[in-house]
A and B are shown apart, each in its own frame.
Chain A
Amino acid sequence: MDAPQIGRSVLRKEGRAKVTGQALYVDDVTPAGTLHGVTVRSPIARGRIIAIRFDPSIPWGEYTVVTAKDIPGVNIVKLIADDQPYLASEAVNHPEEPVVLIAHRDRARAAEARRHVTIEIDPLPPVFTIEESLARREIIWGADNVFKHYSVAKGDVDAAFANAAAVVEGTYETGAQEQLYIEPNGMLAVADPRRGVTVWGSMQCPYYIHTALAALFNLPVDRIRVVQMETGGGFGGKEEYPSVIAGHAALLAWKSGRPVKMIYDRAEDMAATTKRHPSRTRHRTAIGPDGRLLAMEIDFTIDGGAYCTLSPVVLSRGTIHAAGPYACPNVRVSGRAVATNAPPHGAFRGFGAPQSLFALERHMDKVAAAAGLAPDEFRRRNFIRTGDTLAVGQTIREPVTMGALLDRALALSDYHQKRQRFERENARRSVRKGIGLAAFMHGAGFTGSGEVHLSSVVAAEATVEGTVRILSASTEIGQGTNTIFSQIAAEALGIDAADIEIAQPDTAIVPNSGPTVASRTCMVVGKLVEMAALAVKHALIDAGYLPAFYSRTEFRSACARYIEAFGTLRGASQYAPPPGLKWDDEKYLGDAYGTYGWAVYVAEVSVDTRTWETRVDDFVAVQEVGKVINPTLAMGQIEGGVAQGIGWALYEDVVWREGRMINAQMTNYIMPTSMDLPPIRVYFEEVPYAYGPGGAKGIGELPMDGPAPAIFNAVAQAIGADVTRLPLTPERLMSVMEESAVG
């Protein structure tokens, strides 16, 4: 048997291909005769299409042109609600909505032709904000502009408010955030009525695209094939939108009979594809004389954009996380996702939880102050403990160590000493300092009964050479799927991770393991990898080919003997929920997640009161995510998430005009560079989770939740004023200070 494979920093499986530039992304492959596809989009937010005019100066005969009437199946992007067309034909509901597709063998000529199509639209009054949508002067979606409403309730909230020692209120807002993966979205398609449709591309969820294409082309699923190429980052931005691009490329391929490549340039990717939902959260909190939480009333509203897409699920996660890691006997959360005439907002790391946790953790500092307690002491008194019940009715049965995480974060950041020192020194300084913390959790895997509905499958197949190939639809998008799956399978099989091969996600070969989202790849699909690998091992043992203790050579010869005798050696696994896990979809009550990652983050900031620039000087991230499979990759996940959180808090400002992002360039949408980030210091507590592979939980989204509220709490200390709206750009901070000086 080999040394333990889990817990080691095994080198990234595809790392060599990446550092040498050999890894193939979709734009690196161009079959002979490929046409380049472009999209003609709505110039306005809302209206009725009167006509589509093609400028006669363009020789349209040389081009392939597709409109809604060329669609062989249903003109709907299959997801949750059947409301979003692949190509608008009668009405447009947001700027950049796709209307016409054009392809030409010359990329530049395709791009030029796009400017010679005019979509004539009779405009209708648009809706651009949460407030306008809720005012319902214009109904732009369904009966009331509301995609989804959730209510979570526990205890007797009204009675608790009547008996409160103090009540604290606050409203918090977050802006949209662009995922800004460095590889823009792209797809390559071949399609014809005889052979069906095949697409290769940049994606997180091959089977989402598979389902969407079958409906779009009205073809049986075995005539659709989806292959993931190397993918240059996703962060949720390649969860649902790739179904649109894949469909568009395939429609052009279907009509032209040629391969069609559709690669978005940066401006198009930023303007037309999904972003993090803007949000508004209102808190009303009651506390007792002992500084304990008595009641929380939370109104959480997100802006879903023009179509439903994934908004109900984003809302669900945000609503469930809204009351955070606290034991509060009376809680009422109302969550709503509303429609506006902006391009649909979508999946982005954290999926609603960063928004509601930002509001909660900024608010908790204000509640602590009202209770006369320090931010850390107030939280410590109210943390959830084993045996306590969350707002959705989930009783936490496993060990929860929030107090220990807090202690460690305070010590590592020198929180108390610095807080006092900054308090003392700030009055005399033009650059003021602050230190703030945030405590939070993140549920791993799909919410509620989601994993049961997905019923994910993974297979493992041995070869005569003694290597084992893992077949799953989970995609490597930089987060380390290939590597951790190799480690998990190798550990189960007692062989080396180098002897595991990860099959390229290709729906013709791999089973449906569900989407690569929701911090589920390691914990949920990884567990299935472990089970499938164990099935291979047990088959060898049951056949009498493998002794109790074995070497690599013995494993290889056992595989060879088995395959010679039985033809193939394949193990498979399918998701089954951990025992005792219960969720009621109707009442929206129960065990919302199999488990949670828990964390306490501390940010130290400087605010220059001459320029109102905020800089993060130090960052400590302490978390418990079960057993860490690969320390280097896990730290990379946390550091990258913290960097995105810092960007969301301070720099990344999507500027809207008439529903359109007007700063759709890296030049004026500012993400953190190497010069902007503090040292990000990452620490793990390891409490093994009984139902995760080797004890691991999910990790990917957790680090997005904590940075923004920790930074805002630090800024509040530095400047002695309330800050409630992100991103906290210098302009916004200046106006906060001017208002507070006047008020």
Chain B
Amino acid sequence: MAEAPVPRVACRVNGRRVALEGHPMSRLLDALRLSGLTGTKEGCGEGECGACSVLLDGELVNSCLTPLAHADGRSITTIEGVASDVALHGIQQSFLECGGSQCGICTPGMVLAAFDLLSRNPNPSEEDVRVALAGNLCRCTGYMRIFAAVLDARRRLGS
């Protein structure tokens, strides 16, 4: 018996038109990772840790809680879409320089959460940063260097 064809969902990922494979109710996280974009990480699978954060039409979502069907016709940005081919994005450069990444597993989600914050609010206070990153858990840094990185990126992107 031939297996049923794998359903596909048409969307844009990092600016490119793609067809992500998977059941409509499967997780966007799995479809992205199966497509080769393994920068999006799974930390808990229940929307607590934020390691799987991506931007869906510019909105920060946990891809472990997002059904693939929700991506239909929409635009997704993953960590692979943040840097240009030649240079790091300012947020990534700030994370690198300020020590905002240690083991690195939360970093893709953190960078996207910071990206989301700075696109909504180009001049956040440290309190704004704390609130914006509250859905992204980091066990290594104690967050201090992540706050410093986001505030450094604010300066870098502002100038």
Interface, chain A (partner B; CB < 8 A): 9, 11-12, 14-25, 27-28, 179-184, 230-235, 265-266, 477-480, 632-633, 635-636, 639-644, 665-667, 671-675, 677, 679-680
Chain A residues in 8 Å Cβ range of B99 = 9, 12, 632-633, 635-636
Which among A181, A184, A633, A643 is the interface contact of B103 at CB below 8 angstroms?
A: A181
Q: Assess the A181–B139 pair: CB atoms within 8 A.
A: yes
Chain A residues in 8 Å Cβ range of B102 = 233, 478-480, 636, 640
Chain A residues in 8 Å Cβ range of B67 = none
Q: Assess the A635–B145 pair: CB atoms within 8 A.
A: yes
Q: Does B96 contact A (CB under 8 A)?
A: yes
Q: Does B130 contact A (CB under 8 A)?
A: yes
Which among B44, B83, B134 is the interface contact of A266 at CB below 8 angstroms?
A: B44
Which among A24, A28, A640 is the interface contact of B140 at CB below 8 angstroms?
A: A640
Write the chain B residue with the least CB distance to A476: B103
| Distance of A11 from chain B, by nearest CB (Å) | 6
- Known A-B contacts A12-B101, A19-B107; the reply to A639 vs B141 at CB < 8 A is yes
- Known A-B contacts A233-B105, A666-B49; the reply to A21 vs B139 at CB < 8 A is no
- Known A-B contacts A640-B140, A677-B142; the reply to A232 vs B103 at CB < 8 A is yes
Q: Assess the B142–A19 pair: CB atoms within 8 A.
A: no
- Known A-B contacts A265-B45, A635-B145, A665-B46; the reply to A233 vs B103 at CB < 8 A is yes
Chain B residues in 8 Å Cβ range of A632 = 98-99, 145
| Distance of A202 from chain B, by nearest CB (Å) | 9
- Known A-B contacts A20-B88, A20-B92, A673-B134; the reply to A183 vs B41 at CB < 8 A is yes
Tell me the bound Cα distance from A11 to B149 in angstroms: 13
Q: Assess the A674–B43 pair: CB atoms within 8 A.
A: no
Q: Mark B79-105, 1 if CB is under 8 A from A, else 0.
A: 110110000100011011111011111
Q: Assess the B130–A675 pair: CB atoms within 8 A.
A: yes
- Known A-B contacts A19-B92, A477-B103; the reply to A182 vs B143 at CB < 8 A is no
| Distance of A474 from chain B, by nearest CB (Å) | 15
Which among A9, A24, A180 is the interface contact of B139 at CB below 8 angstroms?
A: A180
| Distance of A652 from chain B, by nearest CB (Å) | 11
Q: Assess the B139–A666 pair: CB atoms within 8 A.
A: no
Chain A residues in 8 Å Cβ range of B1 = none
Chain B residues in 8 Å Cβ range of A12 = 96, 99, 101
Tell me the bound Cα distance from A632 to B41 in angstroms: 25
B interface residue count range (under 10 / 10 to 19 / 20 to 34 / 35 or more)? 35 or more
Chain A residues in 8 Å Cβ range of B95 = 15, 19
| Distance of B120 from chain A, by nearest CB (Å) | 17
Q: Assess the A20–B43 pair: CB atoms within 8 A.
A: no
Q: Assess the B144–A15 pair: CB atoms within 8 A.
A: no
Tell me the bound Cα distance from A234 to B105 in angstroms: 11
Tell me the bound Cα distance from A235 to B33 in angstroms: 27
Chain A residues in 8 Å Cβ range of B51 = 182
Which among B92, B111, B142 is the interface contact of A680 at CB below 8 angstroms?
A: B142
| Distance of B18 from chain A, by nearest CB (Å) | 17
Which among B40, B96, B105, B146 is the interface contact of A182 at CB below 8 angstroms?
A: B105
Docked complex: B99-137 residues within 8 A CB-CB of A = 99, 101-108, 111, 129-131, 133-134, 136-137
Interface, chain B (partner A; CB < 8 A): 33, 37-46, 48-49, 51, 78-80, 82-83, 88, 92-93, 95-99, 101-108, 111, 129-131, 133-134, 136-147
Closest 8 CB pairs of A and B: A21-B39, A478-B103, A232-B105, A18-B104, A643-B142, A21-B79, A639-B142, A666-B48
Which among A636, A671, A675 is the interface contact of B141 at CB below 8 angstroms?
A: A636
Which among B78, B111, B136, B138 is the interface contact of A19 at CB below 8 angstroms?
A: B111
Q: Assess the A636–B82 pair: CB atoms within 8 A.
A: no
Q: Assess the A266–B38 pair: CB atoms within 8 A.
A: no
| Distance of A635 from chain B, by nearest CB (Å) | 7
Chain B residues in 8 Å Cβ range of A21 = 37-40, 78-80, 107-108
Chain B residues in 8 Å Cβ range of A665 = 44, 46, 48
Chain B residues in 8 Å Cβ range of A179 = 139
Tell me the bound Cα distance from A671 to B142 in angstroms: 11
Tell me the bound Cα distance from A632 to B95 in angstroms: 12
Selected A-B contacts with CB under 8 Å, 17 pairs: A11-B97, A16-B96, A21-B37, A21-B80, A28-B38, A181-B103, A181-B139, A235-B139, A266-B43, A480-B102, A632-B99, A636-B99, A636-B144, A639-B143, A641-B142, A673-B137, A675-B134
- Known A-B contacts A182-B51, A232-B41, A478-B102; the reply to A18 vs B88 at CB < 8 A is no
Chain B residues in 8 Å Cβ range of A680 = 142, 144
Tell me the bound Cα distance from A384 to B97 in angstroms: 39
Chain B residues in 8 Å Cβ range of A180 = 139
Which among A232, A635, A644 is the interface contact of B104 at CB below 8 angstroms?
A: A232
Q: Assess the B41–A677 pair: CB atoms within 8 A.
A: no
| Distance of A433 from chain B, by nearest CB (Å) | 21
Which among B49, B79, B143 is the interface contact of A674 at CB below 8 angstroms?
A: B143
Tell me the bound Cα distance from A79 to B83 in angstroms: 45
Q: Assess the B140–A675 pair: CB atoms within 8 A.
A: no
Chain A residues in 8 Å Cβ range of B131 = 674-675
- Known A-B contacts A181-B103, A666-B46; the reply to A640 vs B83 at CB < 8 A is no
- Known A-B contacts A22-B39, A28-B38; the reply to A233 vs B130 at CB < 8 A is no
| Distance of A505 from chain B, by nearest CB (Å) | 15
Tell me the bound Cα distance from A23 to B137 in angstroms: 19
| Distance of B134 from chain A, by nearest CB (Å) | 5
Tell me the bound Cα distance from A115 to B79 in angstroms: 36
Tell me the bound Cα distance from A230 to B38 in angstroms: 13
Tell me the bound Cα distance from A234 to B104 in angstroms: 12
Most buried by B among A9, A28, A182, A639: A182
Chain B residues in 8 Å Cβ range of A23 = 104
| Distance of A640 from chain B, by nearest CB (Å) | 5
Q: Assess the A674–B130 pair: CB atoms within 8 A.
A: yes
- Known A-B contacts A21-B39, A635-B99, A643-B142; the reply to A666 vs B104 at CB < 8 A is no
Chain B residues in 8 Å Cβ range of A478 = 102-104, 140
Chain B residues in 8 Å Cβ range of A679 = 144
Q: Assess the A233–B139 pair: CB atoms within 8 A.
A: yes
Write the chain B residue with the least CB distance to A265: B45
| Distance of A18 from chain B, by nearest CB (Å) | 3
Q: Assess the A19–B130 pair: CB atoms within 8 A.
A: no
| Distance of A621 from chain B, by nearest CB (Å) | 10
- Known A-B contacts A14-B104, A233-B105; the reply to A183 vs B79 at CB < 8 A is no
Which among A14, A182, A231, A642 is the interface contact of B138 at CB below 8 angstroms?
A: A182
Q: Assess the B101–A231 pair: CB atoms within 8 A.
A: no
Q: Assess the A182–B101 pair: CB atoms within 8 A.
A: no
Most buried by B among A16, A19, A23, A478: A19
Most buried by B among A9, A20, A230: A20
Tell me the bound Cα distance from A635 to B108 in angstroms: 22
